[in-house]
Amino acid sequence: MTKSSEFFAEIPQIPYEGAESSNPLAFKYYDKDQLVLGKRMEDHLRPAACYWHTFCWDGFDVFGEGTFRRPWHELEGQEMAEAKADVAFEFYSKLGIPFYCFHDVDVMAPAANMKEHVENLAAILDVLERKQDETGLKLLWGTANVFSNRRYMSGASTNPDPEVFASAATQVCHAMNATKRLGGENYVFWGGREGYETLLNTDLNREMDQLARLLTLAVEHKHKIGFKGPLLIEPKPHEPTKHQYDRDTATVFAFLQKYGLENEVKVNLETNHATLAGNPMDHEIAMAFAFGIFGSIDANRGDPQNGWDTDQFWNDPLDIVRSMYQIIKNGGFTTGGFNFDAKVRRQSIDAADLFYGHIGGLDALARGLLGAAKLIEAGDVSALVSDRYSGWDDELGKWMMGAASLSDIADKTVADGIDPKPKSGRQEFLENRFGQMA
């Protein structure tokens, strides 16, 4: 175990105490060893917490300076990176989750150029590897931040300047190597600035070809270094750019198909990004499974009154149970998991607030899992859906999906006097069933 820091000295290991507990630093529903549909809760949810919101962001917003004043933010260079790793691993361990996630720049000493970037990333890997060994924590995914540095203002791989592409490729190459070395289970691409601000200065065809080129190079590199996990694209429609090329699951799938990457790349879906794209989260999940590209989830939510990625902790029970139902019904996570890509508000400045956010988020997922499991065990929802489509398993349905031509169908319809009888879709009944579990 890592030794307790002053910052988290007041925080104990978070226990599971059950729904009746009034202890704010205890789980009420997340009991990691509880069996749900024959599988441990932890193995269903595979929870992870991220580095960036909790240990990098200092609470600044566009109108104001950082509010958190964390002790490690006062430090510099490798010393800062190591102090950050100390508190991060202490936090993950006290929370009792199995995974974490990071961007290259989250974990390392800041770098002035690409050479320093490569050196500083290498310097922190020994530390992370040692901490993983000490705590048993695993890496759900790694990624490269190719959107914050000024050089990426006009895009990373989609930049009009090939030297910027080269810089992004360098970061991706080293972030993939780092993820492989740390035993990461997936590698993520979020195209933060892979889009445009205005079409007036943009060559769309070139930009999409360049984006696909970097992905193709990453796929080749993955096989070259023997990285076993999938590469995941994280769809988002906009923010920071006006338009992002990977706007939602369906758009990503079309893009992957165009460039022949649909068997190599999957998606990391984020709740708040789905909302921004005008899609409910359960739609994104269902589409990803339908296309065979479901990978992982960034769990968070937006604010219904705000049109941006507020990254709040996901705590809408109905939304969660609907999403969880899609995940579990379709077989659940394989390499993916639920990463809390979520942050406390900038007024929540205490160490305990970081725990309240994650405890609530994990409890909400656990409740959603229990609700979805009940619906799956009851079986009435899936029976209703299969019954609705049962005609397609009969002769007429099979024939139309197979041998029949359009005119064959037209002739038969008239000759047999086919006259369909409308049936209820039962939407309110179904909504009540999900409401009961939320």
Q: Return the active site residues.
A: 103, 106
Min dist CB 74 to Ni ion, Å, is 28
Nearer to ligand XLS, 284 or 341 (CB): 341
The verdict on 236 binding ligand XLS (CB under 6 A) reads: yes
C-alpha gyration radius of the chain = 24
Instruction: Quote the tokens at residue 349.
Output: 């400045």
Min dist CB 234 to ligand XLS, Å, is 5
Q: Which of 54, 120, 143, 271 is in the footprint of ligand XLS by CB under 6 A?
A: 143
Nearer to ligand XLS, 103 or 322 (CB): 103
The verdict on 341 binding ligand XLS (CB under 6 A) reads: yes
The verdict on 42 binding ligand XLS (CB under 6 A) reads: no
Min dist CB 336 to ligand XLS, Å, is 13
Q: Which does 94 bind (CB under 5 to 8 A by kind): Ni ion, ligand XLS, none?
A: none
Q: Which of 234, 248, 282, 363 is in the footprint of ligand XLS by CB under 6 A?
A: 234
Nearer to ligand XLS, 103 or 222 (CB): 103
C-alpha to C-alpha distance for 376 and 314, rounded to whole angstroms: 22
The verdict on 298 binding ligand XLS (CB under 6 A) reads: yes
Instruction: Quote the tokens at residue 369.
Output: 């899992």
- How many residues at the interface with ligand XLS, by CB under 6 A? 9
Residues 359-398 binding ligand XLS (CB under 6 A) are none
Nearer to ligand XLS, 47 or 371 (CB): 47
Q: Which of 104, 194, 246, 270 is in the footprint of ligand XLS by CB under 6 A?
A: 270
Min dist CB 310 to ligand XLS, Å, is 10
Min dist CB 282 to ligand XLS, Å, is 19
Interaction mask 299-328, ligand XLS, x per CB under 6 A = ----------x-------------------
The verdict on 86 binding ligand XLS (CB under 6 A) reads: no
Nearer to ligand XLS, 285 or 375 (CB): 285
Min dist CB 240 to ligand XLS, Å, is 9
Where along the sequence are the contacts to Ni ion (CB under 5 A)? Answer: 270, 298, 309, 341
Nearer to ligand XLS, 44 or 236 (CB): 236
Binding site for ligand XLS (CB under 6 A): 103, 143, 190, 234, 236, 270, 298, 309, 341
